[in-house]
Structure 1
Amino acid sequence: MDRAALTTSPGTTPPATPTAPTTPAAPPSPPLRPRHRDRALAWAAGLLLSVPAAVAACRALDEDGITPFPQLLSFLPWLTVPAGLGLLLAAAARRRTLAFVAVLVLTGTAWASLPYTPTLVTPYGPSLARIRVIAANVEFGQATGSLIALARRERPQLLYVSECDPACGRALATALTGLLPHRVSVDAEGSAGSVLLSAYPLRDRSVVPSTMGMPGATATVAGRSVRLQLAHPMPPLPGQVGLWKTELARLRDEVAARPSDESLIVAGDFNASQDHAAFRSVAAVGLLRDAARATGASRTPTWPAEGPLPPYVQIDHVLTTTDLVAGATRFPSLPGSDHRAVVADLDLQEGR
């Protein structure tokens, strides 16, 4: 072929080069849900649920267990918050089984937080006497002045004072001699001292063996014998949970040993809430009623009343036999102490 024939003349269009047919582009696939995020949410939910589940199980099994469970039981009502967050995270992770477990944990924690009271016998008959009780921890005697002012204002017939050293005891006796002339005490320094002051004459004085003073005595009120017992066992700190249980058990034995026809008021700093089995055993053995529970105030916190945290647990109680009916319960502040006081108005009724 002549080379000139292959040369394109000016102004002419070269022949088109054949091309392969094109395939239409596939539509973009939706982004995949990141599995690592789901896994992280599931792990976070499991961690949040583990503590409420374990603590609620202790409550359901009526056991305080070992450290850290006695300490965590003080937070039981508040553990519904991490349980609820765990449920939300389990749902966000789309783990049905985990979400079902979270529902069970949240329900169990909320159920365990319901107020506790033993089986009660309904009292009957007219009221024989009105008794006002104050239970207060004055924190190494620092709130003695505040307690004197409170007692003068409230005018109780019975005053249970924990952590009252000899100087505190002398100050109370001097300031309140006209109001509460009778007393039984454990005279010791620091937190070991305790005083029980009474408007009624006292007899049968005794002391429950304990690290901190737990004195008791018997009074006659409107012709009835009423046993008075101050409570102040050791707190359940790590390393002394066994001692805490032992001292609450001694208090329980003291309650159980009283005559069945004798009225009883046990009050003070129990270092235990209604969520602790050791505390409930004291109430159950004598069919005692918590004055705060009877007046709808069983979740009113009394400790810690000073420091960075607001009060979150009720560890100060007034427990009574069923013939002593609580009409009102209040928790006034006590400047100088890390506890709120408990003021309970009780009606001593004729029937049991």
Structure 2
Amino acid sequence: MIRTVLTWLVVVPFAVWAVLRVTGVDIADRWIQLVAFTPYVAAASVAPVLLAGLLRRWIPMAVAVVTAAALAFAVLPRYFADADPHTGGGTFRVLAANLAVGAGDGAELVRLVDRLQPDVLAIQELTPGAMKRLDALGLRERMPYVVDRSQGGVWGSGIYSAHPLTERPLIALGRFRQARAVIKVKNGPEIEVVSVHPCAPSHAAKMSCWRSGLAALPRAGERLTVLAGDFNATLDHWPVRELLDSGYRDAADVMGQGFTATWPQKGWRPVPGVTIDHVLADERMGVRAFSVHDLPGTDHRSVFAELTLPLTGAAAVREG
């Protein structure tokens, strides 16, 4: 009897976690924070299977096996690269960086731009002071087309582009300013880019703002769209999965790098790393490369993706 109770005490928390993750049920504010660590729970879910087997408790073992399988199904695809038909209509390189209230190392960011040659740079937590420093370092000379939605504190954002752009209406919720622009690539299609940064779900008062900030992001549609930046959410959060279901793909997931942590950088907080910075690209775009880069002075690592454009050039409406 004691062994049976002990086994269930170990199995049940994992089973509940799996049910909540698979169904997307939003039961509490704290759960929104916890679900980001699902990959770690999935790895640990083997332990209840082994325990139940050793104690010969077959019903709990069956539940544990189903639980482990459900969690593995949810997270393991991120480890394997997708068979991606690289379209041949040109490339579009995207770099996203959270500057931690403007404290990120501007010189290193400019060096990243020189090395990676992005077509667009989406910046979060961009302050007016940080923007002045970046311009003084020559960023605007490299990427002369700019949407400036900088602001003091954590709320500002911006978009630098190597191509002409037209600003789109700002997504402003809970003081967070998510910049948008339509970029016209030479001899290519128009691409909408959003510098993503909803509220962080750090406590109960911010949960509604977090949900609204993600819900306000444009769904995949007629125009090719790329969402890049600090989502404050992983692929285990239901709002991100809804975005993917609308017709986006996560560049890291496509390249088999979906477990590469982007927050926090070493030395910032004593918590396991999670993947909350993303490049989501319209599914009509190919993904040729993805990488994550350290940026001193900030708690986030920068993310870079090299995308390929449709052969037709124009953003046609998806069939069906």
The TM-score, its normalising length taken from structure 1, stands at 0.79
Q: Does 1:303 align with 2:263?
A: yes
- Taking the aligned partners of 2:51 and 2:146, their CA distance within structure 1 comes to 57
Residue among 74, 77, 99 paired with 1:112: 74
What does residue range 14-25 of structure 1 map to in structure 2 within 5 Å? Answer: none
1:163-211 per-residue CA deviation (whole Å, 9 max, x = no partner) reads 1111111222332122101111222112111111001111143211223
Correspondence 1:138 to 2:99: yes
Instruction: Say if 1:195 and 1:215, in contact at 8 Å, map to a contact too.
Output: yes
Residue matched to 1:191: 154
Alignment match of 1:226 (pick from 179, 188, 191) = 191
Confirm whether residue 238 of structure 1 aligns to residue 238 of structure 2: no
User: Is 1:210 aligned to 2:173, yes or no?
Assistant: yes
Distance in 2, matches of 1:295 and 1:343, equals 12
How far did residue 42 of structure 1 move?
4.2
1:311 Cα deviation from its structure 2 partner: 5.2
Instruction: Give distance in 2, aligned partners of 1:326 and 1:347.
Output: 6
How many angstroms does 1:44 deviate by?
Answer: 4.3
Q: Give distance in 2, aligned partners of 1:67 and 1:204.
A: 34
- Identify which of 237, 242, 253 aligns with 1:281: 242
Matched letter for residue 321 of structure 1? D
Backbone CA RMSD of aligned residues: 2.3
Aligned length: 303
- Structure 1: which 5+ residue stretches go unaligned? 1-37
| Counterpart AA for 1:242 | S
Q: Does 1:168 align with 2:134?
A: no
1:295 is matched by which residue type in structure 2? M
Aligned residue for 1:13?
none
What displacement does 1:323 show?
Answer: 3.3
1:101, 1:311 → 2: CA distance? 27
> What fraction of aligned residue pairs are identical, expressed as a percent?
31
Deviations 1:308-337 (A, max 9, x none): 547532111111113321100000111111
C-alpha change, 1:100 and 1:322, in structure 2 (3 Å) is closer
Measure how far apart 1:268 and its partner are.
0.5
User: How far apart, in 1, do the equivalents of 2:15 and 2:30 lie?
Assistant: 14
Counterparts of 2:56 and 2:298, CA distance in 1 = 49
AA partner of residue 249 (structure 1): A
Report SS of the residue matched to 1:184: strand
Contact map agreement 1:64 1:278 (CA 8 A) in 2 = no
Higher relative contact order (CA 8 A, sep 6+): 2
Give the distance between the partners of 1:224 and 1:81, measured in 2 at CA. 42
Distance 1:44 1:162, change over 3 A: farther
Pairwise CA distance, 1:231: 0.8
Q: Which amino acid aligns with 1:62?
A: G
Q: What is residue 3 of structure 1 aligned with on the other side?
A: none
> Which of 269-278 and 291-300 deviates more?
291-300
Correspondence for 1:91 = 53
Give CA-to-partner distance per residue, 1:91-119, whole Å, 9 cap, x none.
34332222222222222222222337xxx
1:271 maps to what in 2?
232
Look at both structures and tell me which one has the larger radius of gyration over its CA atoms.
Answer: 1
Relative to structure 1, is the Cα distance of residues 337 and 43 closer, same or farther in structure 2, using a 3 angstrom cutoff?
farther
Q: Alpha-carbon deviations, 1:35-76, whole Å to 9, x = none?
A: xxx72x544443333332222112221334323322221111
The alpha carbon displacement at 1:214 in A equals 0.2
- The secondary structure found in structure 1 opposite 2:142 is coil
Instruction: For 2:67, give the aligned amino acid.
Output: V
What is the aligned partner in structure 1 of residue 297 from structure 2? Answer: 336
SS at match of 1:114: helix
- The 2-side partners of 1:195 and 1:177 are apart by 12
CA contact (8 A) 2:86 2:288 kept: no
Query: Match of 1:126?
Result: 88
Q: Go from structure 1 to structure 2 and tell me whether the alpha carbon gap of 1:89 and 1:274 turns closer, same or farther (over 3 Å shift).
A: same
TM-score, normalised to structure 2's length? 0.86
Within the candidate set 229, 233, 248, 2:214 is matched to: 248
**Residue of structure 2 aligned with 1:291, choices 238, 251, 268:** 251
Which whole-Å CA distance do the structure 2 matches of 1:77 and 1:303 have between them?
A: 14
Question: Is residue 123–residue 349 contact of structure 1 (8 Å, CA) maintained in 2?
Answer: no
Pairwise mapping of residues 31-46 of structure 1 onto structure 2 (< 5 A)?
39=2, 41-46=3-8
Contact 1:329 1:343 in 2 (8 A): yes
Distance in 1, matches of 2:4 and 2:273, equals 30
CA gap of 1:247–1:154, structure 2 versus 1, over 3 A, is same
Give 1:114's aligned amino acid.
L
Alpha-carbon separation, structure 2, partners of 1:311 and 1:151: 28
Query: Is contact 2:87–2:310 with CA below 8 Å preserved after alignment?
Result: yes
